[in-house]
């Protein structure tokens, strides 16, 4: 009874479609019966078209940026260096320390809500166009295509017995994959360790244990993910694939097949102009949309979580439609409401909510960045004794002033204290610290106990940056005496 009620409420909200289980037509006749059927290899057919051109140019641009950025210099240093060992991230003039965690947190919040916003509006375009897994996979497919040939040639090659020709093509493909994976792994590790020595040191076995391990690890992961795992990463391992449906609504743009226009599908000749009279729709059942799909799905079966919104099936179908003389757009980026003939609703509460949080995150990030002081100031009291008597009958307290120069230039810091009248400062009052370095200054304060009103006096240390009067950081502490 309970089950029946649950079924009624679920089907009330969601249009359930029966999807045939044998839609993945990659390598027929090679499935293992049982709970975990073996994975059929997907032979992706190369396709040209507007969406593939956009994806390719975006890939070139961001891959170029990825490869270029670690080589840029700023003030004689690597401009972007995320030094985990020293716990400081340098990005041009900005150096982030563990104390700047809030800035990093805002960056992550902005990235997360940016992704939520784009997903609600335009589905999984991140996956199809920018996700490193997709970008690297498409590059690896390009190597495969150039060395082993077209989809049909690759399928034929795999069915052939091993020969010198087959071995040399396979060997060259894997060699290119490993070389590209190694090269990009070196670039990636170059964001975390000085890149100018990394390449030479790696190949001369002088890169150090952790750098070498990191390069080998990322080479292995890239080769494995883009060469072997491919769509498995997207369909079984990526958490985003699982929760993105929570952001979708009926006005989210996704790649979709216009079933009302396309069905009933069926082959026909180009000259056949009265196919509609025979009950046929515009889909000629050429299966091109399936052959070009990197995740091996048939978009005609409806929205599926495996779809990465790459648009390859749109280009393939538009190509077919053009050849047949039909209007393009049988498969397109569209919304569920549009497919049902309802209007589009761009401004909707969920989208506006994500946008509002995104805007707040950007403003908070800008404010945190703007109000960030270029120094960090701490005071440590001498743990050995609360105070010490001097030969003149005064009491002396010892402190260690610790300052982090968060800028990238050397700075001279000037220290002072308030709250303790007529106190004597014993030690230097200035300290010059190199950019991005930490330095400590042990000092003592001496005071006449008869001039103090109580045994514990609250005092304030202040540090200023020489030549920058508007930068000043204060810390409170206490002065102990015997009265």
> CB of 87 within 8 A of CB of 96?
no
Measured CA to CA in angstroms, residue 185 lies from 60, 211, 215, 425, 461 at distances of 17, 11, 5, 54, 47
Using CB under 6 A as the binding rule, whether residue 148 contacts ligand SF4 is answered as no
Site string for ligand SF4, 48-87 (x = CB under 6 A): ----------------------------------------
- Alpha carbons 335 and 346: distance in angstroms, whole number: 10
- E strand segments, 294-394: 331-334, 375-381, 388-389
3-state SS class at 341: coil
Distance CA 443, CA 400 (A): 6
Q: Which of 227, 311, 361, 436 binds ligand SF4 (CB under 6 A)?
A: 311
Exactly one of 214, 289, 395, 452 binds ligand SF4 (CB under 6 A); that residue is 289
Q: What does the alpha-carbon distance between residue 235 and residue 216 come to, in Å, rounded to a whole number?
A: 26
Q: Is 131 in the site for ligand SF4 (CB under 6 A)?
A: no
Q: Which stretch in 243-251, 291-299, 372-380, 428-436 sits in contact with ligand SF4 by CB under 6 A? A: 291-299
Give dist(CA 33, CA 25) in Å, integer: 16
Q: Which sign does the torsion angle of CA 291, 292, 297, 303 carry?
A: negative
Within 329-388, the residues that bind ligand SF4 by CB under 6 A are: 330-331
* Stretch near ligand SF4 under the rule CB under 6 A, chosen from 7-15, 290-298, 343-351, 354-362: 290-298
Interface with ligand SF4, residue 95, by CB under 6 A: no
- Tell me which stretch binds ligand SF4 (CB under 6 A): 244-252, 303-311, 345-353, 367-375: 303-311
- Tell me the closest approach of the beta carbon of residue 370 to ligand SF4, in angstroms: 41
| DSSP conformational letter for 407 | S
Q: Give me the least distance between CB of 294 and ligand SF4, in Å please.
A: 6
Question: What are the backbone dihedrals phi and psi of residue 127, each rounded to the nearest 5 degrees, phi first?
Answer: -60, -45
Tokens of 432: 């010059």
Beta bridge partners of 430: 414
Annotate 56-93 with DSSP letters as a single string. HHHHHHHHHHHHHGGG-EETTEESEEEETTTTEEEETT
Q: Does 445 bind ligand SF4 (CB under 6 A)?
A: no
Please tell me whether residue 293 binds ligand SF4 under the rule CB under 6 A. Answer: yes
Task: Sketch the per residue contact string, 246 through 285, with ligand SF4: x for CB under 6 A, - otherwise.
Answer: ---------x-x----x--x-----------------xxx
Give the nearer residue to ligand SF4 in terms of CB position, either 182 or 317. Answer: 317
Question: Which position among 103, 286, 362, 364 is part of the footprint of ligand SF4 (CB under 6 A)?
Answer: 286
Least Å distance between CB 305 and ligand SF4? 10
Q: How many CB atoms lie within 10 A of CB 3?
A: 7
Residues near ligand SF4, by CB under 6 A: 255, 257, 262, 265, 283-289, 292-295, 297, 299-300, 307-313, 316-317, 320, 330-331
């Amino acid at each position: 009874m309970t089950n029946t009620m649950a079924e009624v409420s679920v089907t009330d909200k969601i249009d359930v479609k029966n999807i045939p289980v044998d839609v993945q037509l990659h390598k027929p006749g090679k499935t293992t019966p049982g709970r975990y059927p073996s994975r059929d290899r997907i032979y992706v057919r190369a396709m040209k078209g507007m969406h593939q051109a956009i994806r390719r140019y975006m890939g070139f641009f961001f891959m170029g940026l990825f490869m270029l950025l670690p080589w840029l210099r700023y003030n004689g240093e690597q401009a972007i260096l995320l030094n985990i060992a020293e716990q400081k991230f340098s990005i041009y003039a900005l150096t982030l320390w563990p104390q700047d965690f809030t800035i990093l947190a805002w960056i992550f919040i902005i990235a997360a809500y940016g992704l939520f916003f784009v997903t609600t509006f335009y589905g999984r375009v991140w996956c199809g166009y920018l996700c490193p897994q997709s970008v690297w996979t498409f590059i690896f497919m390009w190597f495969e295509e150039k060395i082993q040939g077209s989809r049909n040639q690759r399928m034929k090659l795999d069915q052939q017995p091993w020969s010198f020709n087959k071995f040399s093509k396979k060997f060259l493909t894997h060699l290119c994959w490993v070389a590209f994976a190694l090269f990009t792994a070196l670039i990636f590790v170059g964001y975390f360790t000085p890149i100018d020595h990394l390449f030479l040191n790696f190949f001369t076995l002088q890169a150090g244990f952790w750098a070498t391990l990191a390069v080998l690890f990322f080479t292995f992961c890239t080769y494995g993910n883009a060469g072997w795992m491919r769509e498995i990463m997207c369909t079984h391992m990526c958490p985003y694939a699982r929760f993105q449906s929570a952001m979708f609504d009926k006005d989210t743009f996704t790649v979709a097949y216009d079933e009302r226009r396309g069905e009933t599908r069926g082959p026909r000749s180009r000259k056949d102009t009265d196919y509609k009279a025979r009950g046929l729709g515009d889909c000629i059942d050429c299966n091109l949309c399936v052959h070009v799909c990197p995740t091996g799905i048939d978009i005609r079966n409806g929205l599926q979580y495996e779809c990465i919104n790459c648009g390859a099936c749109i280009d393939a179908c538009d190509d077919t439609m053009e050849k047949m003389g039909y209007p393009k757009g049988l498969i397109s980026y569209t919304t569920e409401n549009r497919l049902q003939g309802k209007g589009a609703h761009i401004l909707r509460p969920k989208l506006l909510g994500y946008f509002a949080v995104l805007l707040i995150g950007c403003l908070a990030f800008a404010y945190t960045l703007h109000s960030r002081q270029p120094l960090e100031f701490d005071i440590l009291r001498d743990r050995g004794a609360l105070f010490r008597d001097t030969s003149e009958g005064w009491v002396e307290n010892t402190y260690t002033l610790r300052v982090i120069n968060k800028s990238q230039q050397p700075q001279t810091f000037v220290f002072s204290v308030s709250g303790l009248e007529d106190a004597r400062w014993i030690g230097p009052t200035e300290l010059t610290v190199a950019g991005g370095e930490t330095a400590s200054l042990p000092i003592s304060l001496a005071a006449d106990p008869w001039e103090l009103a109580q045994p514990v006096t609250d005092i304030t240390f202040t540090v200023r940056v020489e030549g920058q009067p508007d930068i000043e950081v204060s810390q409170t502490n206490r002065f102990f005496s015997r009265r």
